[in-house]
Structure 1
């Protein structure tokens, strides 16, 4: 067996890669090395400065208001919708590599957990990209926005804040909106794309649940209450409260408490 490879070195390689294909290749290499038992998860060295993280040169970032309309009832609208979701999944690969390497001295389980999430996000992205190819498009054909990554930048100084704002806020939003997108695609006659989103939704419940686990674990270690701390961090980082309606069933499965959801609904103007 060959020499084992440091997971944190792979993380840095992916985060500093300059193209879509290079980032995907490093992530696929991590999958192959993990399956071969050739990854090691020793304590990470100092994290890569957040400013050093690169995005693929092929991507065109624009203001979200300038993105194409994403109604699935035309081919162009369906491509725009799938492209937007593919960008979320690609951003998640990048973001979870950053979760993995950003915060030293975490338990080894933390690093293994987020590597598993990275590999699931890779699968999601590849499914969406293949579907885009079948429809005559590819990732990078349309402009994208950087909202998800901005949250990563804003929370790069504290793993507790990262867990609150990324899996338990930004990714949790997918639990609320994806069922509606699945229904729309089904009504548009695109059962294949709907099936891909069903797979993604099932996995994303687990990703948000991991965020909940680590958020609660860190709150316990720091001796701070879970629910007030979550509300405090949302208020600190968001200009407005998360919008509903919220998918209570899936959010409960993903580690939210009923009290947290009641509070979110009150803030979002939704009657319990």
Structure 2
């Protein structure tokens, strides 16, 4: 059954096997248990490498050199590895949602698995493997904070942290294209197109739960961002991609106003 499959895949430590297991998820929800599954220790399964360090210790390099492009692709592969874990986790962890919810996130897991495989294949052409460089764990840290409430998970992972990728992707793509890495740029095109759909799934189920609980989506998001200490988002924002992913004009207005307010506080 799907939730059991997702948990089994989440526990895998080998990233190649995990990506393959994510891509092999079915939509089989027959006799799906509508209860919390027992959580084993040490979730998620991780490889021994990359070494996980504080974000400020992850060295930033330009894309002008081969080594810089490899470092950039490695950081993207790590994001996609975490994205596999996040999709698998939301499937197994939260019972009682409609069948379509689990099918949606199975699709996300399959596509994140593909993204990881594409990036790892490209990384090998740059004489590097996933795990060769340190990385940070910010995405999974938010998953831990929101493990007890599916509404918080939807608000602050797909709609916040993963939506940042919609803003960053065109910038990263341009860096790779400018450096002559057309293969890397083409992978970013695939990822952006799919991620619009992933964030859209997060938006759709977030609004479903807000309606079910009688909550205003905009004010509830702001309250949860404060309660769970979500990172403040800074522009510029990819408004076209965010609209395609289902953000409303009210939400985009609130996002830009918050970014301007934070910029004013920083300048002061």
Task: Give the TM-score normalised by the residue count of structure 1.
Answer: 0.90
What RMSD over aligned residues (CA atoms) do the two structures have, in Å? Answer: 1.9
Match of 2:128 among 125, 137, 144: 137
5+ residue gaps, structure 1? 1-5
Task: Identify which of structures 1 and 2 has the higher relative contact order when contacts are C-alpha pairs closer than 8 Å and 6+ apart.
Answer: 2
Partner residue, 1:186: 177
2:121 matches 1:126: no
Aligned residues: 261
Alpha-carbon offset, residue 55 of structure 1:
1.9
Encode CA deviations 1:63-118: one digit per residue, 9 max, x unaligned. 11111323111111101100000000010001110010110011110000000000
Classify 1:94/1:262 alpha carbon distance in 2 versus 1 (closer, same or farther; 3 Å). same
Shift of 1:19: 2.3
- Gaps of at least 5 residues in structure 2 are 264-268
Cα gap change, 1:70/1:47 in structure 2, threshold over 3 Å: closer, same or farther?
Answer: farther
Change (3 A) 1:158 1:239: closer
Partner residue in 2 for 1:18: 13
After superposition, give the CA deviation of every residue in 1:28-87 in whole Å (9 maximum; x if it has no partner): 442xxx3xx766461344234385303222331111111132311111110110000000
With 19-28 and 130-139 compared, the bigger mean Cα shift is at: 19-28
User: Which string of whole-angstrom CA distances, capped at 9 and with x for unpartnered residues, describes residues 224-265 of structure 1?
Assistant: 111111111112122652111111111111111111111111
Structure 2 counterpart SS, 1:268: helix
Alignment partner, residue 3 of structure 1: none
Q: 1:240 to 1:118 in 2, by over 3 A?
A: closer
1:181 and 1:50, CA in 2 relative to 1: closer, same or farther beyond 3 A?
Answer: farther
Pair 62,13 (structure 1): closer, same or farther in 2 beyond 3 Å: same
Which stretch of structure 1 is more off in the superposition, 218-227 or 20-29? 20-29
